[in-house]
């Protein structure tokens, strides 16, 4: 046996065994699978009736300040400039950016808060549009994580592990549930740059990677300039018929190699070539928003017509959702506000507020919100104490993993509620903590998946998104 067959596959055994009919039947099945495998999930999933069919994850990269947006702390107004009590800080770990500060002066939010909707949700004046959909949202005030620096914290939120190499959330869903549209990927990623901190943390392609899952499940990044997907257009001098013939010849060569080695990555390659060919038609239609009604475009705001903006990506997320894409993730950079927070967060809120609210309204108007789970949040929160010098009109905030706010909507989540409670300093959790693993378990539950049973065997053990942790937050489920 050749070295690559040390772990002999059924496919290789049938091909080499002399069972001619078996080999012919197998080749036929493989050919059919090449065009369909990207749409079919695992047998037996969902494990139970799902409330959500798909997810839109609005990831706010850089970590929004919870106490300037959603976690209202009125008592801080009387403590401005006072040192954060040691009894609150409890000797907790600090980043290298503030660990050497001589003082930790309290910086109350500059922004006014009001209660909105029948739920009475406290929302900052920075989010006037989101305030109009308060009764559609569920605020989790007690999110927490172990990671205190951006890259491990973002990696943790995407993959359930702080170290790179694990499959991302979207890859797990693509693997488990497949796609509802054979002409589009199951998992799509878009990135926008905010007007807050232009030097915000970089984002790496591994954040939407497939890790040790087959690479067909990795996210497909849509670009804001040129072809939305690389190599979507035919090269100069190559027409559609020629490209089809090239793909057919390439498929036959790949098929021969697949039958010889049984390498699953060759199967992925065949499927991805075919998907790319189908996307030549589906993606241009998807990204052409010219036929959207004027009132819809106005609802998303003036930036909606600029490809690559947060507003454009939110509208595209709705259009992808309509077409059956399983997991759509938007990364919006610019929330890392260590200094000049009042100036920077104002721009970030302006970038995201109207379009986020419009997405909720748009999904709801089209009957899609009930079975689409929307998540909004960053990798951790910000400190109540000021990083650097506190002045009467300026302050900054450092990283704070101990507590921060997420909001969710649709897809089996109770609307119009807040869950969890932080102390008067938005520094520690007083009630109902929700860990990153708990959020992942709850998301999977909404999709009809028992997070303990969606596993993949790799290097001798069964892995899952929630590792060996995670509890479904039953209190926020409809």
Q: Would you say residue 22 has pLDDT above 60?
A: no
The crossing angle, in degrees rounded to 10, of helices 20-36 and 240-261 is 130
Overall domain count for the chain: 1
pTM strictly above 0.85: yes
Kindly indicate the confidence band of residue 362, based on its pLDDT and cuts at 50, 70 and 90.
very high
Contacts of 311 (CB under 8 A, 6+ apart): 300, 301, 302, 303, 304, 351, 354, 355, 358
Rounded-to-integer distance, Cα 373 and Cα 365, Å: 15
Can you give the pLDDT at residue 200? Answer: 85
CATH classification of the domain holding 336: 3.40.720.10
Asked if residue 334 is part of any domain, the answer here is: yes
Write down the mean pLDDT value for the chain: 89
Can you give the pLDDT at residue 231? Answer: 56
Asked if residue 216 is part of any domain, the answer here is: yes
Contacts of 90 (CB under 8 A, 6+ apart): 428
CB 84 within 8 A of CB 384: yes
Can you give the pLDDT at residue 274? Answer: 63
Asked if residue 299 is part of any domain, the answer here is: no
- Beta bridge partners, 105, equal 83
Q: Which two tokens stand for residue 47?
A: 């494990």
Q: Which residue has the higher pLDDT, 302 or 279?
A: 302
SS3 414: coil
| DSSP assignment string, 171-223 | HHHHHHH--S-TTS-SEEEEEEE-SS-TTPPP--GGGG--TTS-GGGSPEEPP
Q: Is residue 35 within a helix (H) or strand (E), and if so which, with residue range?
A: helix 20-36
387, 347, 409, 300: which is closest to 101 by C-alpha? Answer: 387
Asked if residue 20 is part of any domain, the answer here is: no
Asked if residue 288 is part of any domain, the answer here is: no
Asked if residue 96 is part of any domain, the answer here is: yes
Q: Which residue has the higher pLDDT, 15 or 90?
A: 90
Q: Is residue 152 within a helix (H) or strand (E), and if so which, with residue range?
A: helix 150-159
User: Residue 423: which domain range?
Assistant: 50-225+307-457
| DSSP assignment string, 269-297 | HHHHHHHHHHHHHHHHHHH--TTS-HHHH
SS3 387: coil
Asked if residue 251 is part of any domain, the answer here is: no
Rounded-to-integer distance, Cα 144 and Cα 266, Å: 40
Asked if residue 263 is part of any domain, the answer here is: no
Q: Which two tokens stand for residue 165?
A: 């190499």
């Amino acid at each position: 046996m050749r070295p690559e067959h040390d772990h002999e596959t059924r496919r290789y055994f049938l091909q080499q065994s002399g069972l001619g009919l078996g080999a012919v039947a197998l080749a036929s099945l493989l050919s059919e699978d090449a065009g369909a495998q990207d749409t079919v999930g695992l047998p037996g999933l969902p494990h139970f009736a799902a409330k959500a069919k798909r997810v839109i994850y609005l990831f706010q990269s850089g970590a929004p300040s919870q106490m300037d947006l959603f976690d209202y702390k009125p008592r801080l107004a009387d403590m401005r400039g006072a040192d954060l009590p040691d009894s609150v800080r409890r000797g907790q770990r600090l980043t290298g950016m503030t660990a050497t500060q001589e003082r930790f002066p309290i910086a109350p939010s500059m922004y006014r808060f009001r209660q909105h909707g029948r739920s009475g949700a406290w929302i900052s004046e920075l989010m006037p549009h989101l305030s109009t959909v308060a009764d559609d949202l569920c605020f989790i005030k007690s999110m927490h994580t172990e990671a205190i620096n951006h890259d491990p914290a973002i990696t943790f939120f995407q993959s359930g592990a702080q170290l790179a190499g694990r499959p991302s959330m979207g890859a797990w869903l693509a693997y488990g549930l497949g796609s509802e549209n054979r002409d589009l990927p199951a998992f799509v990623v878009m990135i926008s740059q905010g007007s807050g901190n232009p030097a915000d943390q970089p984002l790496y392609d591994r954040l939407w990677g497939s890790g040790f899952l087959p690479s067909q499940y990795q996210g497909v990044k849509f670009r804001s300039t040129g072809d939305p997907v690389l190599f979507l257009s035919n090269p100069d001098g190559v027409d559609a018929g020629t490209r089809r013939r090239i793909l057919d010849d390439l498929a036959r060569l790949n098929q021969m190699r697949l039958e010889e080695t049984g390498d699953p990555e060759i199967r992925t390659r065949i499927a991805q070539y075919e998907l790319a060919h189908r996307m030549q038609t589906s993606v241009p239609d998807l990204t052409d928003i010219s036929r959207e009604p004027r009132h819809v475009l106005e609802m998303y705001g003036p930036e909606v017509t600029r490809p690559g903006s947060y507003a454009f990506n939110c509208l595209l997320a709705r259009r992808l959702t309509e077409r059956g894409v399983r997991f759509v993730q938007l990364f919006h950079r610019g929330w890392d506000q260590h200094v000049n927070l009042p100036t920077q967060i104002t721009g970030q809120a302006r970038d995201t507020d109207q379009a986020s609210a419009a997405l909720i309204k748009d999904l709801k108007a089209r009957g899609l919100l009930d079975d689409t789970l929307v998540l909004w949040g960053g990798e951790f929160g910000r400190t109540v104490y000021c990083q650097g010098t506190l002045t009467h009109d300026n302050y900054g905030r450092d990283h704070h993993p101990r507590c921060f706010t997420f909001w969710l909507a649709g897809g089996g989540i109770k609307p119009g509620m807040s869950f969890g409670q932080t102390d008067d300093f938005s520094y520690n959790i007083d009630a109902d903590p929700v860990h990153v693993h708990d959020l992942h378990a709850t998301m999977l539950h909404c999709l009809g998946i028992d997070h303990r049973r969606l596993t993949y065997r790799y290097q001798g053990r069964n892995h899952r998104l929630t590792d060996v942790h995670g509890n479904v937050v039953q209190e926020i489920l409809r």
